[in-house]
Amino acid sequence: MAAVTRLSIFPLGGALLFPRMQLPLHIFEPRYRALVSDAMARDRRIGMIQPKGPGDPPPLFDIGCVGRIAHVEALDDGRYNIVLEGVAKFRVVSELSVTTPFRQVEAELEDDVPADPLALAHRASLEEESRRFAEAQGYAVDWTAVSRLDDESLVNGIAQIAPFDAAAKQALLEAATLEERAELIIQLMQFFGRHSGERDDPVTLQ
C-alpha cells in the first residue's frame, strides 16, 4: 500500500526528476528560498512537480517526484544552488491549506520498483535515434560516455534534458515502464526531427 506523506512542493515546468537521478537547481525566488531553508531544517525533501496551466497558483499535474537535497550551496545574498537526488515518484492526494509561502500537499509515495533492462534492439534504436536527434539539433555529445550508461540512466537522463513541452515531459514521467518511456522518447525525437524548422519551440504531444 502506498505511503501517504506531507510534501512541500516546487512547481516548475519542464523540470523532471526520476528516482536515482539528479537535478541541479538555482533557487532565487523568496518563496522557494524559504522552501529550501525549511527542507534543510526538516528532512531535506522537496516534491518536484510540473504546473499544467497558467494561474496563481497554477493547477498541478497529479504525478511528481520527491527529491532529497544531496548538495546545497548557500550564497551570500540568500540564493541557493542545490542538487536534488530523486527518491520516489508521488501522486497528489490533496493540496493543503497552509500559511507558508510555498505550497504543500498530501501525497502517496509510489513503491520504487527496479527497472527491467531494455531489450538490446530497443537500446540500439534509442541510441541511434538520439544520435540522429543530437546531430540535427547541433548538440555535442560524448557518445563513448553515453554507451557506458546503464539503461535507466540513459532513458531517464534523456527524458530530463530533452527540449519537449510540459505535457510531453509529464507523459515521460508517468510512463509505467522504462521500455514505454524509451519508446515514447523515440517517438518524440522522430516528431521533433520532422519539425526541425520549429526548433525554437518545444515539441508538443498534440
183: left (phi over 0), alpha (psi -120 to 50) or beta: alpha
Q: Among 44-53, 66-75, 82-91, 157-166, which stretch is predicted with the lowest mean pLDDT? A: 157-166
* Predicted pLDDT of residue 64: 98
Contact assessment for residue 119 and residue 111, using Cβ atoms and an 8 Å cutoff = no
Query: 201 or 147: which carries more pLDDT confidence?
Result: 147
Residue 154 has pLDDT above 90, yes or no: yes
Contact assessment for residue 159 and residue 172, using Cβ atoms and an 8 Å cutoff = yes
**Computed from CA positions of residues 67, 99, 166, 198, in that sequence, does the dihedral angle turn out positive or negative?**
negative
Mean pLDDT for 10-36 is 96
* Predicted pLDDT of residue 205: 39
Mean pLDDT for 132-136 is 88
* Predicted pLDDT of residue 191: 86
* Predicted pLDDT of residue 139: 83
What DSSP line would sit under 123-142, residue for residue? HHHHHHHHHHHHHHHT----
Q: Among 21-25, 89-93, 201-205, which stretch is predicted with the lowest mean pLDDT? A: 201-205
Contact assessment for residue 67 and residue 30, using Cβ atoms and an 8 Å cutoff = no
pTM of the model: 0.89
> Which residue, among 84, 175, 64, has the nearest Cα to 188 in the 3D structure?
175
Show the cell assigned to 127: 541510441
* Predicted pLDDT of residue 159: 95
pLDDT band at 203 (very low <50, low <70, confident <90, very high): very low
Mean pLDDT for 59-67 is 97
| Residue 164, CA distances (Å) to 15, 116, 143, 158, 201 in order | 11, 25, 21, 11, 9
Mean pLDDT for 77-84 is 96
pLDDT > 90 in the chain, percent: 75
pLDDT band at 85 (very low <50, low <70, confident <90, very high): very high
Contact assessment for residue 92 and residue 105, using Cβ atoms and an 8 Å cutoff = yes
Top-ranked range on mean pLDDT: pick from 2-16, 31-45, 184-198 = 31-45
Residue 148 has pLDDT above 80, yes or no: yes
